[in-house]
Chain A
Amino acid sequence: MRRRFEVLLLLLAGAAVLRISLFSELYLRYVKPGLRPLLIATGALLVLLGLVAAVREAIGYARGRRDAYQDAGHEEGHSPHAGHEWVHPPHAGHEEGHSEDAVHERGHAHSHGPRVGWLLYLPAVLLLLFAPPALGSYTASREAARAAQGAGTFPALPDTNPLPLTVREFSSRAVYDTGKSLKDRTVLLTGFVSPSDGGDEGTWYLSRLVVGCCAADAQVFKVEIHGATALDADTWVTVTGVWRPTGAPGSEAAEPALDASAVRKIHEPSNPYDDAAPAADGS
Chain B
Amino acid sequence: MEDQLLGRAGPTRWLRLLVRGAFVTVTGGALLAVVALVAMTIGPALLLQIDTPAFQAWRTVFVAITVQGLPFLLFGTLISAAISVFVPASLFDRLLPRKPALAVPVAGAAGMVLPGCECASVPVAGSLMRRGVTPAAALAFLLSAPAINPIVLVATSVAFPGNPEMVLARLIASLAVSMVMGWLWIALGRPEWLRIPKPAAGAGHGGQATASRAGRWEQFRQAVQHDFLHAGGFLVVGAMAAATFNIVVPQSALDAVSGSVWLSVLLLALLAVVLAVCSEADAFVAASLTGFSPTAKLAFMVVGPMVDVKLVALQAGTFGRAFAVRFSAVTFAVAVLCSALVGWWLL
Contacts and interface: CB of A to CB of B under 8 A. Distances in A.
A9 B64 contact: no
Contacts of B74: 42, 45-46
A39 B69 CA distance: 10
Given A84-B9, A214-B68, A216-B246, A120 B236 contact: yes
Determine the interface band of chain A, counting residues with CB < 8 A from chain B. 35 or more
Interface residues of B, number: 78
Given A59-B2, A84-B13, A126-B63, A30 B68 contact: yes
Contacts of A138: 53-54, 56-57
Contact of A17 (B67, B251, B255): B67
A219 interface: yes
Interface of B: 1-2, 5, 7-10, 12-13, 16-17, 21, 36, 39-40, 43-44, 47, 53-54, 56-57, 59-68, 70-71, 74, 159, 202-207, 210, 218, 221, 224-226, 228-230, 232-234, 236-237, 239, 242-243, 246, 250-252, 255, 275-278, 280-285, 287-288, 290, 317
A108 B36 contact: no
B232 A120 contact: yes
B5 to A, nearest CB: 6
Contacts of A91: none
Nearest to A108: B205
A49 B21 contact: no
Overall SS of chain A's interface: helix
Interface string A187-210: 000000000000000000000000
Overall SS of chain B's interface: helix
B65 A214 contact: yes
A146 interface: yes
B305 to A, nearest CB: 13
Contact of B16 (A87, A125, A219): A87
Nearest to B52: A138
Q: Which of A1, A53, A106, A213 has the most CB of B within 10 A?
A: A213
B59 A213 contact: no
Contacts of A130: 40, 43-44, 47
B163 to A, nearest CB: 11
Nearest to A83: B8
Given A49-B224, A83-B9, A84-B13, A35 B252 contact: no
Given A80-B8, A129-B36, A217-B284, A143 B65 contact: no
Interface string A32-67: 000100110110011001001100111110111010
A142 B71 contact: no
